[in-house]
Structure 1
Amino acid sequence: MNLNIVKRILQRKEAQHFVNYYIFTIMGALVGFYSIPYLTRHIPPENYGMIGIFLGIVFFMPSLLSFSSNGLQAINIVDQAESEYKRFRNAYISFVIILSICCLAIAVALSYFWSDFGFVIVTAVIYGCLQLCSSIHSTELIQHGKPTQFGLFNFSTIALTFLLTVVSISGFHLDWKYRIYSIIITEAIMVILRFFLFSDIARSFKFTIDKKVIKLLLRYGWPLMFSVAAGWIINQSDRFILLHYYSLKEVGIYAAAYGIASIITTFNQTMIRVVAPPIYQNLAKRVGRSFITKLNVLYSIVILGIAAAGCLCLHLFWHLFLGAKYGASLPVIYVLCFAQAFFGIYMTLGIVIDYFKQNKLKTMIVWVSAIISICTSILLIPVLGAYAPAVGSFFSFLILAIITYIYSYQLLKKYNVT
């Protein structure tokens, strides 16, 4: 009986997609996880701090370059006919190109004022643009149910980035900047493959300035831009708080900690890619409340269990994962693993808010969490020192998940989802 239940579950399209996504997620996580020990052994904390600043800027670049309207693409794939969607896609890509050129010009100008950080500012904009281009193709793969191709691209990106990094740093004895060059070169290669060989994006593209689409993108995205600012405060402000109160060394230690904790982030992102399409389809029919409830409970148990197991493993074998200079990052990693677990719980709940386009509500929720994060981080510095921002992130993600849970179920009732 139990075997028959398992077979029926595995025969479901969602379950097969889940397995496909997670196979590549685990493969990519292993490569990414191994890359952190490699980097911590070859790059001192001060230079790793510069990579941390780069990643801190990159965090909000795709949202900035798309005016936070990338979620509209996923919705239009479901709601629009193919020809109508392609017209939207051309206008959307054209919109992204214009914003990217403007942001790159601003970045070059800023690099003259902050010459010490000029390199990371300019490269962050370039990489953010490439990352956004990749996400356009990834969104189509997700919505069209192509987990294998999606997983291959993600894994290939991680593996090639690591390979180029090793060749640059160990083979040619180049400095930390070539870690960033490796990231950019890999993403550029993947964008070319995605647009020209594995989709019709390049073939169908025609530069288009569609005022109707631009107004739609701006109207959809402007409330979310406030959410992006709040999200940046929650996820990345700790690096800049540390840079203000301490030095690049502490930023480097935090960057390494985030690298280890990112395995939880990877699981979160994969989960969203699996469940978002069926949830959207159910909500369009105003059904699926039971499915969403079971999903939230199950994923909460799974992701918190993964975080606990990861922390235990790291506690026992940390010397295998981190260089000796990064031992101080262990407490940060423990806190961030559970913080990211609660962020994953928030993401599954947030799908409901996204579908019903409650952008102002989402902005309010995220800003409450952002204020909690930054206030807690700064107030706890006299007590916890450099560990305070990690604790601030944990509390903000916990509150974020709780508030989102309350409002998402209110929306299910409001729209009579059964």
Structure 2
Amino acid sequence: MINKLKKSIFFKNSFFYTIGGMMSPLLGFIMLPVYTNYLSPGEYGIMTTTQTLVGMFQIFLVLSLHGAITRFYYDFLDNKVKQKRYLGSIFIFVFVFSSLILLTLILFYEEIGSLLFTNIPIKPFFFYLILISWLSALLSLPLALLRAQEKAGLFVSVNIIQTVLTMCLTIYFIIFKGLGAESALMSQLMVLVLVVLLLYLYSFKFIEFRVEINFIKQSLIFSLPLLPHVASGWIIASSDRVILEKFVNLNELGIYALAVQVSMVLSIFYTSVNNALVPRYTLLRKENKEIESQKLLKTFLYIVIIFGIISIPIAMLATNILSSDSYNQSIWLIPFLLIGHIIKGVYFIPVAKLFYAKNTKAIATSSTIAAIINIIINIVFIPIIGIFGAILSTIIAELCRTILIYTASNEKIFN
């Protein structure tokens, strides 16, 4: 069994992607004593809420075309010229499109910022938000290329470098410069500039700078139906903090944000394994290896269940040890948030099948319905029961989305 695992590309890449994906939550854990001792819960709430909104803006800046790269890349394995032209078309389109949106957001920053923030200052946090979102959108393309090429080692190296640099700069800005909530955002922005430049230099040898409209059209037909799927993931996981910011004080927001940050470690772990699952599953299906592909999905299910259960006591204990007393209330919120992430992990299995079949409509439909349910519960219950309304909305939305997608795919969880 050990020898089989050593030879398995899926397990090898899962290991690498997990290390790479866990860099961000690892940074959060290492920084917990710094954040909770040098930032008030209110400052921590400002910082994490701004970071949360990055996810929403990034989704619409890239139009899910990074997902198209991980799928269409395999259609050109036998034609490197077309593959380079395809990648060049997508890279150029995303750069131009996202840059135009960025300029529009800068021009109307007061109007848009006032809609997003009630208690958080628009200056400078809205500008951190849009610049980090733009750079993150650009970064998603070369990272998708690394995934498609199954270069997990390089993927991990990039994440490690990015995490270490961000951590060092954040510590410097918080402790020695006393920049408060701006510290992590400023560090993230500076490091993103460097990483984006380096990865684009790497990607250029796989790209021909030539735009072919047909490639862009095919990719948009594939990726645009995924927008509700991707956006719903953000809505279910993060919109609660945006709504909470308007109904609770910043200290409560910070306590809830800490519980979310800790519980997100499990979600990022699942996503990291899924980063290895999707290209490996796609390749197995392309090679008509049905039995192997089914075993792969079943293995992923076991990973979701086992790691989900053991994460609950570990996350609570780690938070108790690493955070200061003013954040203790967040410890008892963590188990409920982890339940939502476990449900989300199970959801990835039918998505992999539908993704291969290019049936993104079913994914979009289930995600849209779940997102709507999430927003309704947040709006109704947050003004009444505060952060507990946000927890309730997350669990119910993830459960609805999972049931809908399994129904749409006619797939049983255990088969």
Match of 2:408 in 1: 407
Trace 1:376-395 onto structure 2 (pairs within 5 A): 376-381=377-382, 384-395=385-396
Match of 1:157 among 156, 159, 162: 162
Structure 2 unaligned residues grouped into runs of 5+: 115-120
Match of 1:94 in 2: 92
Match of 1:268 among 242, 267, 270: 270
Query: Residue type matched to 1:288 in 2?
Result: E
Match of 1:201 in 2: 204
Cα distance change on mapping 1:376 and 1:181 into 2, 3 Å: same
Shift of 1:363: 1.1
Match of 1:253 in 2: 255
Q: Does 1:373 align with 2:369?
A: no
Cα distance change on mapping 1:244 and 1:26 into 2, 3 Å: closer
Match of 1:105 among 83, 103, 106: 103
Are 2:247 and 2:386, in contact at CA under 8 Å, matched by a contact in 1?
A: no
Query: Residue type matched to 1:149 in 2?
Result: L
Deviations 1:305-361 (A, max 9, x none): 333333213434533222222222223322222212221221233111112122221
Are 2:259 and 2:333, in contact at CA under 8 Å, matched by a contact in 1?
A: yes
Match of 1:414 in 2: none
Are 2:304 and 2:342, in contact at CA under 8 Å, matched by a contact in 1?
A: yes
Q: Normalising by structure 1, what TM-score? A: 0.87
Match of 2:36 in 1: 40
Structure 1 unaligned residues grouped into runs of 5+: 412-418
Cα distance change on mapping 1:26 and 1:285 into 2, 3 Å: same
**Distance in structure 2 (CA, Å) of the matches to 1:321 and 1:247:** 24
Deviations 1:373-417 (A, max 9, x none): 223334444764321111210121122223323333459xxxxxx
Let me know the Cα RMSD of the aligned residues: 2.6
Secondary structure, counterpart of 1:245 in structure 2: coil
**Distance in structure 2 (CA, Å) of the matches to 1:317 and 1:200:** 39
Shift of 1:205: 5.5
Match of 1:58 in 2: 54
The count of corresponding residues between Structure 1 and Structure 2 is 404
Match of 1:77 in 2: 73
Shift of 1:245: 2.0
Match of 1:233 in 2: 235
**Distance in structure 1 (CA, Å) of the matches to 2:71 and 2:372:** 30
**Distance in structure 1 (CA, Å) of the matches to 2:392 and 2:55:** 20
Query: Residue type matched to 2:17 in 1?
Result: Y
Deviations 1:267-312 (A, max 9, x none): 11211121111210122244425633x4444433433333333321
Percent sequence identity is: 22
Q: Normalising by structure 2, what TM-score? A: 0.88
**Distance in structure 1 (CA, Å) of the matches to 2:3 and 2:226:** 41
Q: Does 1:136 align with 2:134?
A: no
Match of 1:318 in 2: 319
**Distance in structure 1 (CA, Å) of the matches to 2:19 and 2:375:** 36
Cα distance change on mapping 1:160 and 1:11 into 2, 3 Å: same
Cα distance change on mapping 1:305 and 1:92 into 2, 3 Å: same
